[in-house]
Amino acid sequence: MKNRFLETGLRGFEKHNMLELLLYYSIPRKDTNEIAHELLDTFGSLSGVFDAPIEELMKVKNISQNSAVLIKLIPALGAAYMDDRNSVGIVLNSAERIGAFLVPKFIGKTREQLYLLCLDNKNKLLSCTLIGEGEINKVPMQARKIAEHAFKVSAASVVLAHNHPQGFALPSDQDIFATSAVRKILKPLDIVLLDHIIVAGDDFVSLAQSGLFEGFE
């Protein structure tokens, strides 16, 4: 199976084959086919396996802590890889570019997170900062903290982004209210809130493009 991967990559691999190959590196000298099938049966899909908590993975027969950590490394490394490709200094001059930049940051996240993107006057990224993390649907919109950080890096504009781990990429009334509050506190500082992006899985929605406030023209 390793030789097959070296020759053709994952082309033609079934989901259980992918897990089977991965588990070779934490479960030596054992047929991992049955274990791979049990993981898929337990968690329903390949993504379900990678998204499962370590504690739940370890409840599956023959999955040790080492194997569980190896499984959890895959989405984490994938997100880090994509994030590294989108390094500071790129130009984010549309909601589409911002969404593509942000989606990898939320891969595998089971809790809501709030990010702040600070841009210069040419929409070049100055910083991307995790501002808050909390229970699902309860990320605090820390308007003052957002304003302080944006002012500190001399941002001309900012973009807010948060995820809906177990929902759809649609703004709630609370999302809209919090966005308005941030906008108001940034205005006296001459910092423009360009957009608020909501991410769910590989989907995202731009509040600006949805017509909820003026953003990208």
* Domain harbouring 116, CATH code: 3.40.140.10
Please give the Cα distance from 30 to 71 (Å, whole number). 17
**Phi, psi dihedrals of residue 123, rounded to the nearest 5°:** 65, 25
Assign 165 a pLDDT band (cuts: 50, 70, 90): confident
What is the average per-residue pLDDT within 151-180? 89
Please give the Cα distance from 158 to 201 (Å, whole number). 23
Q: Which of residues 29 and 126 earns the better pLDDT score?
A: 126
Assign 215 a pLDDT band (cuts: 50, 70, 90): very low
Q: Which of residues 194 and 89 earns the better pLDDT score?
A: 194
Report helix, strand or coil for 17: helix
124 half-sphere exposure, CB direction, 13 A CA radius: 7
Q: pTM of the prediction?
A: 0.67
Highest mean pLDDT among 41-50, 78-87, 88-97, 131-140: 41-50
Question: What is the number of domains present in the chain?
Answer: 2
Domain termination residue (choose one: 16, 47, 82): 82
What percentage of the chain carries pLDDT values higher than 70?
Answer: 93
* Both tokens assigned to 22: 């991965």
Residue 52, amino acid: A
What is the average per-residue pLDDT within 11-38? 93
Q: Which residue range is the domain that position 12 belongs to?
A: 2-82
Q: Do 38 and 92 belong to one domain?
A: no
Residue 82, amino acid: M
Q: What is the pLDDT of residues 99-116, one digit of tens each?
A: 989 988 888 788 899 999
Q: Do 92 and 76 belong to one domain?
A: no
Please give the Cα distance from 36 to 42 (Å, whole number). 10
What is the average per-residue pLDDT within 39-50? 94
